[in-house]
Amino acid sequence: MQNLIKQRTKRFALDVIEIIESLPNSASARIISYQLAKSSTSVGANYRAVCRARSDKEFISKLQIVLEEADESGYWLELIQAKGWVDVSKQLQEANELTAIFVTSLKTIKNRSNSNNEKDNNPSK
């Protein structure tokens, strides 16, 4: 599963870079392009760090960053869509799907972590 997400996050970044290169050369488009380039490429880069996490706590911390970057990417894509500069519906859908995956992953690991903590604190279980 990790390799699939690594591939998806890399493809997402590459697709977004392609969009950025097609945006108009206006002040607002340059600002949005810069922000979107940072957040969209950060999704995959930080997910690679998640895959190397040494503990649940580190995994959660790093995955929260990935979630924030995926959600932020969605925001910038929504602005591009609203301005009508380029059709970003495919990339926006991918940003939303990645965000949903990361939310679900965080819930799962937090529940597992909480369950393990309860067992550690109550050895009779």
pLDDT of residue 110: 86
pTM score, two decimals?
0.87
Single out the residue of 12, 35, 19, 1 nearest to residue 98, CA to CA.
Answer: 12
CATH architecture of the domain with range 2-121: Up-down Bundle (1.20)
Task: Supply 98's token pair.
Answer: 């990645």
Please list, in sequence order, all residues whose beta carbon lies within 8 angstroms of the beta carbon of residue 79, skipping any fewer than 6 positions away. Answer: 32
CA distance 42 to 53: 16
pLDDT at 71: 98
pLDDT at 114 over 80: no
Q: Which of 2-16, 36-50, 108-122 is least confident?
A: 108-122
Q: Kindly tell me if the per-residue pLDDT of 121 is higher than 70.
A: no
21-74 pLDDT, tens digit per residue, is 999 999 999 999 999 999 999 999 999 999 999 998 999 999 999 999 999 999
Spatial distance between the Cα atoms of 9 and 15, rounded to a whole number of angstroms? 10
Interaxial angle between packed helices 2-21 and 89-121, expressed in degrees from 0 to 180 and rounded to the nearest 10: 150
